[in-house]
Amino acid sequence: MTDPAAPDFLDRPGRPRIAFRYTRGAGPTILFLPGYMSDMAGGKATALFDWAAAEGQGCLLLDYAGCGLSDGLFADQTLLDWRGDVLDLIDAKADGPVIVVGSSMGGWLMLLVALALTQRDGPARVAGLVGIAAAPDFTDWGFTPEEKAIILAEGALVEETPYSDQPYVTTRGFFQSGEANRLLGGEIPLTCPVRLLHGEEDGDVPPEISMRLSAALASADVQVTLVKGGDHRLSRERDIALLIDTVARLAAG
């Protein structure tokens, strides 16, 4: 196994230094985007990276600013700040097409990154997308009206979470950035192949969100896989095998 605690760093003038891991190899380069308050040391990211390294496939992992081993304060970051982190890393390390894999909030960023790359470089830049319990627009459907009011009035919402010993903190800046970049209300002009994996027993992101995303995407090549018994993490051995198989098929064209 590779050592997730030994990253490289991308220095950026005026922005936090970003921790990343990169294995060189054949294209398209696979880029894994973790979820909210998550990092590149998670099981899915590490398994995908180790598979890519063994297969000679290019792969990139990163910690967003304020997360994991990257510099910066978590509370200072917005959704678009993290999109900028991803685009900076792609520009620095990934020549040619990319396959973007996004887990939970990373699935929202996956779409925003793909839209930015397609607009800037053309549709050939994005060879495919793989969402794992993708959570676009979760600032809209993921909070009650009372929780939204707390975020806007007090500047942050602090919640306990089963996924970390640290509470989830949703800042006003992140919330407002999310609300300004919602995607499910209209057509999402991406035409690349898209694969959406979602656990049927996901208690955090309803499987309906993947169905709504499938309907919103302009692409004619979208497949939604509902995983029986799967939870939000989709990190069982069989789930990770499904993820790797899905990415491998896209990478093979």
Q: Is the peptide bond before 28 cis (omega within 30 degrees of 0)?
A: yes
**pLDDT (0 to 100) of residue 165:** 74
Tell me: pLDDT of 1 over 60: no
Tell me the per-residue pLDDT of 50-104, one tens digit each, with 9 for 90 and over. Answer: 999 999 999 999 999 999 999 999 999 999 999 999 999 999 999 899 999 999 9
Query: Span 142-167, mean pLDDT?
Result: 90
Tell me: pLDDT of 3 over 60: no
Tell me the per-residue pLDDT of 157-184, one tens digit each, with 9 for 90 and over. Answer: 998 877 777 788 999 999 999 999 999 9
Tell me: pLDDT of 2 over 50: no
Burial tier of 156 (Cβ tally within 10 Å: 0-12, 13-18, 19+): middle
Structure tokens at 240: 């990770």
CATH 3.40.50.1820 fits 10-251, yes or no: yes
Q: Are strands 156-159 and 126-132 parallel, antiparallel or unpaired?
A: unpaired
pTM of the model: 0.95
- Phi/psi for 191 (5° steps) reads -115, 5
Closest CA to 209 of 224, 231, 188, 220: 224
* Domain locations along the chain: 10-251
For the chain, the average pLDDT equals 95
Tell me: pLDDT of 47 over 60: yes
Catalytic site residues?
Answer: 104, 202, 232
